């Protein structure tokens, strides 16, 4: 099955390539914008000594590169996670595997067929116990998926963290409404909704970061240019 947790390690390697492309493109675009802003800053200071223009250009370029790197990493991870959730349905696969651990039932076995009294006792758990089992299961599945390079580890951590956070939120809703967690009910619901819900969440966060950069970088260059002009006039 596409996105099956047993092959999540190989999927993560592919997602790392998606992340690298997004990272490179973001750094290039933001740095290019920084070059334009640096040129405008130099133009505004054209009547002053060239040294002041050079200082403004240098600061603008450093800011744009630093901003590009920060936004590039953010966009890389989010783009890869969104791709894994939207195209590979990794959220559903992770939910399934995590709940297999929580329920203690072998893959492909109907709940209640194996595990006897212990398995049937898990049908509704106190919230605290459900949260404890969820944390342990996520740690186990994270270890099974393997590691890799730093970008792959970041993608994996973000993906697993998102699934855990969404599952935990649903546990708490269920616990508040019914005094305990119906694991099978939550599992079935999450398998159907987790990918779409998380894609919307991670992409929404990315849009916010991008909007902040669009506003902050030109503002920073404009302010520093204005400050240089004020200092020169005060000196004169």
Return the percentage of the chain with pLDDT > 90, whole number. 28
pLDDT in the model for residue 217:
94
Q: For position 108, what pLDDT does the model report? A: 41
- The predicted structure's pLDDT at residue 15: 79
> What is the model's pTM?
0.73
pLDDT at 3: 42
> What pLDDT, on the 0 to 100 scale, is given for residue 145?
59
Fill in the DSSP letter of residue 47. T
Cα 226 from chain centre:
36
CB 5 within 8 A of CB 96: yes
- Using 50 as the pLDDT threshold, list the residues of the chain that sit under it: 1-5, 105-121
* pLDDT given for residue 110 in this prediction: 47
Q: Supply 226's token pair.
A: 């204005």
CA–CA distance, 99 with 95 (Å, rounded to integer):
6
The pLDDT assigned to 58 comes to: 95
State the residue range of the domain holding 228: 5-235
Specify burial of residue 227 (Cβ count, 10 A radius: 0-12, 13-18, 19+): exposed
Q: Check residue 97 and give its pLDDT.
A: 81
Count of structural domains within the chain: 1
Alpha carbon separation from 136 to 73, 114, 120, 196 (Å, rounded): 28, 21, 20, 25
Angle at the Cα of 195 (from 72 to 132), degrees rounded to 5? 95
pLDDT at position 105, please?
Answer: 40
């Amino acid at each position: 099955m596409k996105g099956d947790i047993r092959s999540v390690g190989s999927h993560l390697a592919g997602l790392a390539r998606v992340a690298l492309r997004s990272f490179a493109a973001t750094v290039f675009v933001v740095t290019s914008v920084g070059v334009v802003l640096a040129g405008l800053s130099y133009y505004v200071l054209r009547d002053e000594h060239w040294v002041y223009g050079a200082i403004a250009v240098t600061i603008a370029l450093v800011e744009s590169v630093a901003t590009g790197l920060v936004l590039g990493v953010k966009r890389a991870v989010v783009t890869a996670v969104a791709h894994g959730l939207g195209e590979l349905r990794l959220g559903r696969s992770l939910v399934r595997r995590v709940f297999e651990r929580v329920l203690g039932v072998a893959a492909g076995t109907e709940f209640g067929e194996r595990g006897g009294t212990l398995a049937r006792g898990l049908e509704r758990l106190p919230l605290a116990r459900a949260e404890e089992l969820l944390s342990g299961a996520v740690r186990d599945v994270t270890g099974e998926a393997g590691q890799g390079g730093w970008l792959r580890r970041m993608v994996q951590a973000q993906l697993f963290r998102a699934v855990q956070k969404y599952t935990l939120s649903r546990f708490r809703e269920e616990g508040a409404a019914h005094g305990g967690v119906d694991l099978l009910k939550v599992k079935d619901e999450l398998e159907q909704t987790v990918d779409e819900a998380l894609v919307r969440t991670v992409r929404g966060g990315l849009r916010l970061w991008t909007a902040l950069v669009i506003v902050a970088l030109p503002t920073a260059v404009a302010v520093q240019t204005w400050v240089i002009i004020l200092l020169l006039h005060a000196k004169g």
